[in-house]
Structure 1
Amino acid sequence: MYKNYHKGRMMTFTDQEVYNAVKHYLPQVNEYVKSHGGKIKLLGVKDNTVYIKLSGACHGCSLSLMTTKLVVEKSLRDYIDPRLVVINVDGKPENQLPETYYIDPEDQIELNKTTKERLLSAIKKFF
C-alpha cells in the first residue's frame, strides 16, 4: 500500500505516480469485474481522478456506476489514496476524458496501435 501520510499530513502524488500505482493494483481490482464478465481499462489520470473504461458485460450495464464507485474506486482508495475519484468514461458528457491527462507513453503507443487496428478492420469491408 502506498503510504501517503507524513507526520500526520497527507502527501500529494503526481499524476504519473497515481497512474503507476493504479496500473500496479488494477489487476487485483479487475478480478472482481472479470468474475462478472467485464474488464477494466486504465485510460489516464488527472488531478487525483482516475479515468477508466469498463468493457465486456460491464459496458452499458445498469450497475456499472455501482461497480465503478463501490468496487473500483473503493479498492483503489484503500490501496493508494482515499482522495482518489474514479470515472468510467462511458460516452456521457459528464464522464469524458479531460483534454489533457497523464498516460504512460508505452500505454499510449499500445492504445494508438489498437485504435488503428480497429479502424483498419472496420474499413476493410468496404474494399
Structure 2
Amino acid sequence: MFPFSDKELQKPVEKSIEKIRPLLTNDGGDISILAIKDAKVYVRLEGACKTCPSSTQTLKNGIERQLKEDIHPDIEIINIRYGEEKNYPIF
C-alpha cells in the first residue's frame, strides 16, 4: 500500500519536478503534470522534449529517478502524448 494519497502527493511532486525543470527548459522543452493517481504521475512533455529521441531516458532516468529519491521508491511516471488521453481511464 502506497503511504500517500493522490492529493498529498501533489505538492511534493510539483516541488520535485521543479528541481529538474531547468534541464528541460534549457533544451527548449518543459513538462506538465496532468494527474496523479495511485502513485502514478501522469505528465506531458512539451516543446522540444515531446519529439526528442531521448525523452524516454529523460522521463525514467531523470524525472522519475528524482521523484523516487524525493518522495517514494514506488512512484512511477507516465508520459501522455497529445491525443493519447483516451487510452487512460483517469482522463
> TM-score, normalized by length of structure 2?
0.85
The verdict on how the C-alpha distance between 1:99 and 1:52 changes in structure 2, with shifts beyond 3 A counting, is same
* Deviation, structure 1 residue 97: 4.0
- 1:71 matched to which residue of 2? 62
* Deviation, structure 1 residue 70: 0.7
Task: Give the number of the structure whose alpha-carbon radius of gyration is greater.
Answer: 1
Unaligned runs of 5+ in 1: 1-9, 101-127
Query: Aligned pairs, how many?
Result: 91
Counterpart secondary structure, 2:49: coil
Q: Tell me: higher relative CO, structure 1 or 2? Use CA pairs within 8 A at least 6 residues apart.
A: 2
Unaligned runs of 5+ in 2: none
Over the matched positions of the two proteins, sequence identity in percent amounts to 31
Equivalent-residue separation in structure 1 for 2:34 and 2:2 (angstroms): 24
Question: Runs in 1 of length 4+ with deviation above 2 angstroms?
Answer: 96-100
The one-character-per-residue Cα deviations of 1:98-121 (angstroms, maximum 9, x if unpaired) are 326xxxxxxxxxxxxxxxxxxxxx
Equivalent-residue separation in structure 2 for 1:66 and 1:45 (angstroms): 21
Taking only aligned residues, the RMSD between alpha carbons, in angstroms, comes to 2.3
Equivalent-residue separation in structure 2 for 1:42 and 1:59 (angstroms): 14
Q: Which amino acid aligns with 1:99?
A: I
Check the 8 A contact 1:50/1:84 in 2, yes or no.
Answer: yes
The verdict on how the C-alpha distance between 1:30 and 1:97 changes in structure 2, with shifts beyond 3 A counting, is farther
Equivalent-residue separation in structure 1 for 2:90 and 2:39 (angstroms): 15
Whether 1:56 and 2:85 are equivalent positions in the alignment is no
- 2:36 matched to which residue of 1? 45
> TM-score, normalized by length of structure 1?
0.63
The verdict on how the C-alpha distance between 1:63 and 1:13 changes in structure 2, with shifts beyond 3 A counting, is same
